[in-house]
Amino acid sequence: MQKFIQKYTGAFRNIRLLHFFYNLLHRKGLAQNKHLYPYFEINKSIYKSISHKDFIGKKAKTPWLDTIINEKDIQNHPVFCHFPENIETQLLQWHKNGFLIWENFLDEETVDAINNDIDNLLEKNAVDFNYTHKKIFNAYRQSFTIRKVIKEKKLLDLLSFILDKKVLPFQTINFLKGSEQQSHSDSIHMSTFPQGYLIAAWFALEDISLEQGPLSYFPGSHRLPYITNSDYENTNNRFMLDGDANKKYEEKAQEVIRQNNLQKQIFTAKKGDVLIWHGNLIHGGEPMLNKELTRKSFVVHYFAENVIAYHEISERPAIFDTELVGEIQDEFYKGQDDILDVSLG
């Protein structure tokens, strides 16, 4: 059912009433909002549309590394000393750059296993590309190897350190070729209140050159104000969403890049490298100079625990995979409350 919706819904994706019924069918995935809405004084059903407008005037704690703090405060964190030296150096610059690179994070055997899984799943029609014809969503449900990687302890340790909260995987997206996606911030698609509690990890599943359409990003762009549906022309109404919202948003993002004279960096990754970025970091896919080449990779997005997670551009609450969340909480987070700040605020 979910595969069908991702691939064929088209214009139906813009009908709010269908979102409401879809949310009802996936009530378990919205269960976390039952206590979060009252806590943050959101007076509406968890099945209804939600956007930045519902949080106007509300204040809450944002991630600690989003503010410029004394490096000693970072270094004195009980988890900091457990990271490799080059990761420690990049963590001290996280508030400035909004990204870091962990080279050779995955070994060759793991990468090859993921690529074999995707090939086999496509051959068996167990997964498929969505309507973009470039993205395979949530292959972790069929691939044991991907599922294992996104629950990797050293990864969760790092992401949880950055947000100072437990993190929960929300979705994976596999690519066989370059996305060539226009520069954007994930926060328009996967949003949080309080702001800033989304983080992404992108894995290179082969060596990637300029010819293959590598990732690009704009260091420091995460510190700019979050773009919301109110910041560009938007025809959303109580019945329908603007079908051209994504295009209009991308045009707004280009305007922000020009206005702030942001400087682009291109990531020519090596097989097994992982790029971790802040949810508000502007990034995209470079043009494929050789259309015959692959650009095998996958990305996983994580929300922090105990924040309201939603999709600003479509104004829908985020639906979690409760089975996966349960696994993470049982396998990794048991007994971790003394290390991380897991308060609601």
C-alpha of 207 from chain center: 22
CATH number of 2-331: 2.60.120.620
Spell out the alpha helix ranges (H) of 151-244.
153-163
> In 197-307, where do the E strands start and end?
198-204, 215-217, 265-267, 274-278, 282-285, 297-304
C-alpha of 142 from chain center: 20
Q: Tell me, what's the pLDDT at 344?
A: 39
Instruction: Give dist(CA 208, CA 128) in Å, integer.
Output: 23
- The secondary structure of residue 1, as a DSSP letter, is -
| Inter-residue contact 172 to 6 (CB < 8 Å) | no
Q: What percent of the chain has pLDDT over 70?
A: 94
Instruction: Give dist(CA 331, CA 341) in Å, integer.
Output: 19
Which residue matches tokens 């991702």? Answer: 6
C-alpha of 120 from chain center: 26
| Inter-residue contact 105 to 300 (CB < 8 Å) | no
What lies within 8 Å, CB to CB, of 235 at 6+ separation is 242
- Please write the tens of the pLDDT for every residue from 49-92: 999 999 999 989 999 999 877 899 999 999 999 999 999 999 99
Tell whether the model's pLDDT for residue 220 goes beyond 80: yes
User: Quick one: tokens of 52?
Assistant: 């930045």
In the predicted model, what is the mean pLDDT of the chain?
93
User: Quick one: tokens of 187?
Assistant: 């926060």
What lies within 8 Å, CB to CB, of 131 at 6+ separation is 6, 7, 8, 9, 10
- Please write the tens of the pLDDT for every residue from 221-263: 999 999 999 999 999 998 999 999 999 999 999 999 999 999 9
Q: Tell me, what's the pLDDT at 342?
A: 40
pTM: 0.94
